[in-house]
Amino acid sequence: MRLFTGVFPPDEVVQELTAALAPVRAEHRELRWVAPGRLHVTLRFHGDDAEPGGQLDGLAGLPAPTVRLAGCGTFRGVLWIGVEGPLEPLAVAAGAPMDTWRPHLTVARARGRRIRWPHVEFTGREWTVREVVLVQSGPGTGYRVLDRVPLSTPNARS
């Protein structure tokens, strides 16, 4: 089963980014744009044949970081928006390979090899990551959250 551990931004953050990307999307119809409901930050990709058991062990109760979406870049056929803030402890706890991990949110993919990528100027509002999720994904099937763990926030009650 294809699994990843990740973080979904709250609706207001997704709406803010979607509004900022609207003119870029209109100018660059040659790109395959990620649907707003699928926007996420991958902490770890577990692979195509991963089993769901134990993937979130060690994440429950970790401190909830405050982050923001900012900047943009490209690699391997994707346009991404960067993430500023301390997500590294979550990625380490999820078992991400830290030599290649970069916090980002994929917003578009290239349909062809030769692409002139748009530059996106964006700095979003801050938000607190309240949970980490384990997601099953597949072509044509979308995303299905299999498990979730809450993070510790200063105002959370025991």
Do 143 and 137 meet the contact criterion of CB atoms below 8 Å apart? Answer: yes
- pLDDT, residue 153, reads 83
Least confident of 30-34, 84-88, 132-136, 152-156: 152-156
| Side chain identity, residue 137 | S
Biggest CA pair distance of the chain: 53
CA distance 53 to 74: 33
Task: List the one residue out of 154, 151, 130, 133 whose CA is nearest residue 46.
Answer: 133
Q: pLDDT (tens digit, 9 = 90+) per residue, 30-61?
A: 899 999 999 999 999 988 888 888 899 999 88
The single residue listed with the structure tokens 């991990």 is 101
Angle at 78 between CA 106 and CA 32, to 5 degrees: 85
* Tens digits of residue pLDDT in 69-124: 999 999 888 999 999 999 999 999 999 999 989 999 999 999 776 788 898 999 99
Cβ pair 59, 94 in contact under 8 A: yes
- pLDDT score recorded for residue 158: 42
Q: Where are the domains of the chain?
A: 3-150
The hierarchical CATH code for the domain 3-150 is 3.90.1140.10
Q: How many CB atoms lie within 10 A of CB 14?
A: 19
- In the structure, what pLDDT confidence band is assigned to residue 155 with cuts at 50, 70 and 90? low
